[in-house]
Amino acid sequence: MKNTLAAGAVLVCAAAVPAHADLLDWNVSPFTADVGQWTFTLGGAADGSLYTADQPDFRGLDQSGATGAAWVSDKLERTYDDGMVISLRSVFEIFHDKLSGDNYGSYFVQKVYGTVQTGLGRAEIGMTDGAAYSLAVVGPEVDNFTSLDNPNATFFVNPLTNRAFIGIFSLNSAVESSLNYAKISYYTPRLFGVQIGASFTPSEGKDVVPFINPGPRVDNRQRGIWEGALSYQGDSGRFSYGASATIAVAHGVHKTLGHDGMIDWAIGAQTDYSLTDDLKLSVGGAYRQTNLYTFDINDALARGNTGALHTSSMLTYGSWMVGGEYSTGSAGGSLGLPTLGVHGAEASVGYTLNTNAQITAGWQQWIYGRNKGLFYDGADHISMDAGFLHLNFHI
């Protein structure tokens, strides 16, 4: 059944070419309005997927259907005569279901922060990504919503929790441990291809202004999260390339036996080669290692590491993209926790309908294993695959 869906989805993508020419030759711009000397911009995004999955059966398990999410974003910005730009930005998730959402727990408020951009760099304060995540290179992706690496849309249900199965251990090769906690960040201008970023997150609080909220009062929470990031971009002839090295460290408080402060680091690289004016090949990948068990910030272990490796390639021709991904990871358990292993593979075809929309058809497979305990089907290994058709629309 999944092969039928994948084949049908490719035909839909192919049919999109004349549709693009005849019916979709339009674009939608964000709403803008002047508010005194400031400019207000309102936009948003929505994505949805049709999928059919093949995973071990369970009573009442639905293995096909639809999933999606939607966001609204706004920006209030002013540009001064000396070139300084000040802006206030926010993003709100107005809809999600059990298989789709954001990277921050799928709360209504995703981001609320302010930025100041000058010739000396950019400063940010508020609920937003940290420097380690913002400057990370993880390899090319046909569709970052359905990518194996830190996906926003998934296609497998854990019938024991009625939530996304990969929630037990979702791979992410970029350091994202500070999530959207309130923080202060600074990014240098990119000089000779090099850009440096740094962030400080005082706690796991989400009260927009740093230092206001100490975060959840749970054991083993992290305080004083420092991040550093080094990014490089360059080009030579038909080649362009980029690389990153990032790290985050923190102090654990109210630690229980076997827990410690956090250390989380990653490296990544990508290169693009223009075969012709219209045809480009991209390859890349990233590796991350941390003592956060399954990347859970409140489970930093004194013994045992969690690692993730992501590799990918993509061929771009005009509006078409064809790519493949491979991801693998392991979470070393201690204190009675199981050691988890996971391997994922994906092949996808994407087509850019216009400046607002992209459609992607693909297939992915996940294989999970554990050294103790069982999955919902009574086995210590489980294999799942799915075919999907995904539409992303953004303004």
Model confidence, pTM: 0.90
pLDDT recorded at residue 7: 38
- Residues 330, 362 contacting (CB under 8 angstroms): no
Amino acid identity, position 316: T
- 14 phi and psi, to 5 degrees? -65, -40
Rounded CA-CA distance 114/167 in Å is 31
Rounded CA-CA distance 238/165 in Å is 42
The residues of the chain scoring below 50 in pLDDT are 1-21
Rounded CA-CA distance 132/227 in Å is 6
Query: Which residue, 392, 391, 388, is CA-closest to 7?
Result: 388
pLDDT recorded at residue 113: 98
Strands 64-79 and 85-96 turn out to be: antiparallel
Count of CB atoms within 10 A of residue 158's CB?
Answer: 18
> If you write DSSP's letter for every residue of 125-167 in order, what string do you get?
EEES--HHHHT------S-TTT-SSS-SB---EETTTTEEGGG
pLDDT recorded at residue 24: 61
pLDDT recorded at residue 26: 81
Query: Which residue, 171, 178, 177, is CA-closest to 151?
Result: 171
